[in-house]
Structure formats: C-alpha cells, structure tokens
Amino acid sequence: MSEHQEDTELFHSMINRVLDKEVAPFYEQWEEEAAIPRDVWRNLGQAAMLGIDMPEEYGGAAASFEISQLAIEEMARKGFGGLASGYNIHANIVMPYILHLGSEAQKQRYLPDMISGDVLSAIAMTEPGAGSDLAAMRTTAQRTEKGYVINGAKVFITNGLQAELVIVCAKTDPGAGAKGVSLFLVDTSLPGFSRGKGIRKIGQHASDTAELFFSDLVVPHGALLGEEGRGFAYLMQELPRERLGVGAQAVGATEGVLAITLDYVQQRKAFGQRVADFQNTRFKLAEARARLEMAKAYLKQCIAKYLKGEMGPTDAAILKLMLTEMQCDIANDCLQLFGGYGYTVEYPVSRFFVDARVQTIYAGTSEIMKEVIARSMLGK
C-alpha cells in the first residue's frame, strides 16, 4: 500500500469516528432546531476536521486536497447534508480564499482560529435582487480615509447566523460592472453589521441560512482581501474548488441514499415478493449505480486537473451540472421505491430527497452551468 493510500485510509477512519461521535447522535435534534450548536465547530476543530489540507504553520493538518473532499463526501453519505454545506463554505471555500489571496497578516489573524473552530466563516455573494448575476450586485464599499464604508444586503448566506467572519463581495466602483467588485474580510462584531432571522428552508434544516445587512459598516483598509477591483476574477478563480465540494456532496449523498434503498427493497415485500425482485426496481437501481460510477470517475478526473492547476470554469460547470442533477434524480427514484414510507420524516430517504434539491441551485444554478458550457462552445 502506498503512503498516499495509507494516509487516505487513516483520515477516512478518523473522519468517520468523529462524525459517529460528534454528529450522528445529535443530528436529528439539530434538524428539528434548525441549527448546529456553535460548539460543534470547535469540537470538529479539536478533532482536526477543519483545515485538513491547510498548512501546518496555521494549525492545519497539511493533508492532501482529496482528503478534504473526502470529509465532505462522508458527511453527505451519512445524510448530514446541512453540515456538509456549512463545512464546505467554512473549510473548503473561505479558508482557501484567505490562503490564496490574503496577506500574511490576514492569514495569521484568521486561519488558526478558523482551523480550531473558534471562528466560523461565511461568504456573502448573493443579494435579494441579484442571484447568480454577481455583476449586478448593489452592495457598495466606498473608500475613505478611515477605511471602507460598506452598505447593502445579502441573502441565502450559509453559516450567516453564527459566523464571526464573512467575506463580503461589494462594489468599490459601481460603474465598472464585474470589474468594480472587491472582497472584504468583515468581522461580524463591528457596528453596522446585522442579521435577519434565519431563513426556513425545505431541506438542509440544520444548516443555518441568513440575510445579512450592512449599514455604514466601516472596515479598515487592511480588511481588503487581495486587490481592489479584482473580486470578480478571484471568484472565478476559486469557483472550481467550490464546485468540487458540491460535487463531492453529490457523490456522497447518492452513495448514502442508494445504500439505504438497497437495504430497504430487499426487506420490503409487495404482492408476495420482495420489492427488489420487480424489474422496475432492478432497472432503476442499476441505472443509479451506473450514473454514480460515471460521476465518481469524472469527479476524480476533475480533482486531478485541479491539483495540476488545469481545471477550468467549463470543467467545473459540467461537474456541478451533471453530478447535482444526478443526485436529485436518484434521490427521487429511491424515495419512490420506499412508497408511502418515503414521504415520512421517519425514514431517512426523505431527508436525502429534500437536502438534494438545493444542490442544483446554490454555487450557480443548473441553468447558469449550461450557459457557461454553451459559451465555451459557441461564445457569448
């Protein structure tokens, strides 16, 4: 066995132990309460689950990128979709933004506390009047002698209710379209920052989602992440990793829902035979397995490209489109095989079903993914 395989197996075992101890016994309660207790993130930090592929100098485990995706996959496979989404934002999106774009002072200030779980993070792109159209955002950040003055609002922000740190996308040059966007590291304890009440969703209930407001919020000049006016380019640069995380969720959740369905159809009887013995059941599950194996192969291919710095926006769009649509289709087919029981919250297949739905919406809708792919072939 290679050293890489040994590392993967060790981390795989560790990830499962942590999830079984810190998450599994309580997850139903968190779903009912529509929140993950803040201390859970500190527990995950203590268990080395946060910052898995971050450098050791900031407190990370310095493991491979693949292992960080494995953590997301395992959460989704166990049916912890809300946790997987919150984790993807904090550990797989915000941390790399700071690592890749931040000054050394910003890295030293934030990454150790994010890796320990003492600081939970979010990223604020989406606005009430501008969803996937980031160039149309209206939140502004005006440069003054005392810092940047931020005004505006964001919506559908994962981890928004609890985050101590938010990367805020704002227009520093409102007349420059996409070229006028900049990124800021915003401490949520600052005057002028406020949150709306949690947004109730049809799925991923444990993941808190909020509306954020900025009213003459002043951040120091040192809160600028990267260079002024390059925010949109940074978002495009980091999107492949975000969409890899969503793809890992899709694969993990599909494996999870398929496993519980295989178990159910072999036990449940209808018309004198097992549900597993009907040709429709066999064909549906065969197709699901085939699609899953193809998805896993493409995810692996994209990860290899990403590690070489060769994964582009089209690769990321194809990955997100095909894997999330697959997840929704298979969750739907599996729920159908449970019959009436599938529509009850007592059977976990129902959570796999409702948790899947948002995957084709956040991080760029399926329609936007199709447009990205079409532009790569046909231009604008």
Contact predicate 89/125, CB 8 Å: no
Main-chain phi, psi angles of 290, to 5 degrees: -65, -45
**Which residues is 218 bridged to in the sheet?**
149
Pair 92, 306: CB distance under 8 Å: no
Extract the tokens encoding 312: 């582009």
Give the C-alpha distances (Å, rounded to integers) separating 98 from 35, 183, 308, 365: 26, 11, 20, 25
Of the candidates 234, 139, 127, the one whose C-alpha atom is nearest the C-alpha of residue 192 is 139
Which of the following is catalytic: 104, 242, 346, 371? 242
Question: Going along the chain, which residue ranges are E strands?
Answer: 121-124, 140-144, 147-158, 165-171, 181-187, 193-195, 209-219, 224-225, 269-270, 273-274
33 as an active site residue: the answer is no
In angstroms, the CA 36 to CA 155 distance is 19
Q: DSSP letter for 198, please.
A: P
- Calpha distance 109→132 (Å, rounded): 31
Alpha-carbon gap, residue 228 to 177, rounded angstroms:
13
- Write the DSSP string, 103-157: -HHHHHHHHHHHHHTSS-EEEE--BTTBSS-GGG---EEEEETTEEEEEEEEEEE
Strand 209-219 with 273-274, pairing:
unpaired
Q: How far apart are CA 340 and CA 335, in angstroms?
A: 9
Q: What residues are annotated to the active site?
A: 242
